[in-house]
Amino acid sequence: MSKTIYIVGLGLIGASMALGIKRDHPDYEILGYNRSKPSRDIALERGMIDRATDDFASFAPLADIIILTLPIKQTIAFIQELASLGLKEGVLISDAGSTKSAIVNAAEENFVGKSVRFIGGHPMAGSHKTGAASADVNLFENAYYIFTPSSLTTSDTLEEMKSLLSGLHACFIEIDAEEHDKVTSQVSHFPHILASGLMEQTALYAREHELAGRFAAGGFRDMTRIAESEPGMWTSILLSNRETIIERIEDFKGRLDEISQAIRDEDESQIWNFFNQAREQRQAMEIHKRGGVDSSYDLFVDIPDEEDVILRILELLRGTSLVNIHINEENREDIHGILQISFKNAQDLERAEHVITENTDYTVVIK
Ligand code: NAD
């Protein structure tokens, strides 16, 4: 049976989602809201949606399913507005916000007693790009897509969402909204604070120690990559998950104090343990095999500085979904190989490792 889907916010996430829905449900009608014209036009021209509006309320009564793909604050504002509109009986509403408790609470508060089903959603994929022009049908492939049920989630809600979003090829998983916010505060939100703090500290230091900028390489680059994220999105993430994040910051301050004291005391074994425990814990978590936040599957190849070597490797990898290729100019101890190739999934990474080791003498490292 055909359905009418309303995507509210044709940014990177909303437009990519529309493409994914179209892939498996070409017969569904997709309506799109966007406040600015360029993303509306792009979404229409590229067939992501069938009809577009800049008047949010006008399409809402037509929809069987509404997905709010907007900044968190705006998602909450539109939930409030939806509560005052005449929607279809049993309409299913979801969202894509990066924090979940504030949104789920707003939905429960505003839709209570109404014929509305609500389930929170968080597709754990994205990039620093914004707008419909950056939409990518494969954006969510193999990424976790988290659903956070609410008191307005009925027994059929989750299955209906999974069926709608099957074309995203994501890994669907269901967790409690509060638990979602706790876990993501530790592995996503707090690391962003650290990356930006480290970046600011270094930039300031480099004003007086010019070499700091020049020597910043491998490890520093790994640690600060996410400091280039979109500031507006991260501001709203921190402000909608305040207590949990503040708790992580306080916990970390204690860890810094401990290592600082150990250095002051020249406590060699404590310092050794600090590094050793972290190394063992990271190895045990098998970070590189995971499809979590910002996941990438990296392979490092030590290649000689010879003509056509990179072309040869790429030729070997023909048909493999590599997402990025990087040549590390400096050969340093904290870089595992000169050529860094990133893949979308673990199977392609393993295949690439196998093909390169079989056909060349180059050292291959997976990190
Ligand atoms: P985007 O900037 O590409 O798109 C945001 C959309 O919201 C645009 O359509 C914009 O026009 C609209 N918008 C912004 N402010 C508005 C306002 N005041 N009124 C009406 N419309 C407004 O951002 P995105 O990456 O698509 O993010 C959308 C949501 O998805 C956010 O809640 C974000 O937390 C979440 N999310 C993003 C990522 C990511 O990495 N980009 C990953 C997972 C979840």
Domain boundary among 175, 196, 227: 175
Residue 334 forms part of a structural domain: yes
Give the domain CATH number at 356. 3.30.70.260
Residue 87 forms part of a structural domain: yes
In a shared domain, residues 270 and 330: no
How far apart are alpha carbons 132 and 19 in whole angstroms? 10
Give the domain CATH number at 14. 3.40.50.720
Of 76, 50, 65, which Cα lies nearest the Cα of 161? 65
CA of 261 to the centre of ligand 1 (A): 43
In a shared domain, residues 167 and 224: no
Q: Could you give the maximum distance between any two Cα atoms of the chain, in Å?
A: 71
Segments forming the whole domain that contains residue 231: 180-284
Q: Give the atom of ligand 1 at the shortest distance from the alpha carbon of 9.
A: 9
> For residue 294, what pLDDT is reported?
47
In a shared domain, residues 209 and 72: no
Give the domain CATH number at 270. 1.10.3660.10
Residue 229 forms part of a structural domain: yes
In a shared domain, residues 20 and 167: yes
In a shared domain, residues 234 and 348: no
> For residue 293, what pLDDT is reported?
38
Domain boundary among 118, 150, 175: 175
pTM of the complete model: 0.83
In a shared domain, residues 32 and 97: yes
> For residue 288, what pLDDT is reported?
58
In a shared domain, residues 150 and 249: no
In a shared domain, residues 67 and 127: yes
Please tell me if the CB atom of residue 12 comes closer than 6 angstroms to any atom of ligand 1: yes
In a shared domain, residues 316 and 329: yes
Count of structural domains within the chain: 3
> For residue 337, what pLDDT is reported?
57
Residue 311 forms part of a structural domain: yes
Tokens of residue 291, six digits:
């499809």
Please tell me if the CB atom of residue 123 comes closer than 6 angstroms to any atom of ligand 1: yes
How far apart are alpha carbons 334 and 31 in whole angstroms? 49
Please tell me if the CB atom of residue 121 comes closer than 6 angstroms to any atom of ligand 1: no
Residue 291 forms part of a structural domain: no
> For residue 333, what pLDDT is reported?
47
Domain boundary among 284, 314, 332: 284
Residue 155 forms part of a structural domain: yes
Residue 348 forms part of a structural domain: yes
CA of 69 to the centre of ligand 1 (A): 6
Residue 290 forms part of a structural domain: no
Please tell me if the CB atom of residue 120 comes closer than 6 angstroms to any atom of ligand 1: no
Q: Please name every residue paired with 146 in a beta bridge, in sequence order, or none if there are none.
A: 122, 173
In a shared domain, residues 194 and 170: no
CA of 346 to the centre of ligand 1 (A): 29
Tens of each residue's pLDDT in the chain, 367 residues: 899 999 999 999 999 999 999 999 999 999 999 999 999 999 999 999 999 999 999 999 999 999 999 999 999 999 999 999 999 999 999 999 999 999 999 999 999 999 999 999 999 988 778 899 999 998 998 889 999 999 999 999 999 999 999 999 999 999 999 999 999 999 999 999 999 999 999 999 999 999 998 888 888 988 998 999 889 999 999 999 999 999 999 999 999 999 999 999 999 999 999 999 999 999 898 775 554 434 568 888 888 777 788 889 999 998 888 888 888 765 444 455 578 898 878 888 999 999 999 999 888 888 7
In a shared domain, residues 158 and 208: no
In a shared domain, residues 200 and 332: no
CA of 70 to the centre of ligand 1 (A): 4
CA of 233 to the centre of ligand 1 (A): 8
